[in-house]
A = this chain, B = another copy of it.
Amino acid sequence: MKAKVEVFLKPGVLDVQGKAIEGALHGLGFGDVAGVRVGKTIEFDLKATDAEAARAEVKQMCERLLANTVIEGYRVEVGA
Contacts and interface: CB of A to CB of B under 8 A. Distances in A.
Contacts of A57: 30
Interface of A: 6, 8, 18, 21-22, 24-25, 28, 30, 32-48, 57, 60-61, 64-66
Contact of A41 (B24, B32, B39): B39
10 contacts: A21-B65, A25-B61, A25-B65, A33-B44, A34-B44, A35-B43, A35-B45, A36-B42, A37-B43, A39-B42
B36 A44 contact: yes
User: Number of copies of this chain in the oligomer?
Assistant: 2
A32 B6 contact: no
A44 B39 contact: no
B44 A22 contact: yes
A38 B41 contact: yes
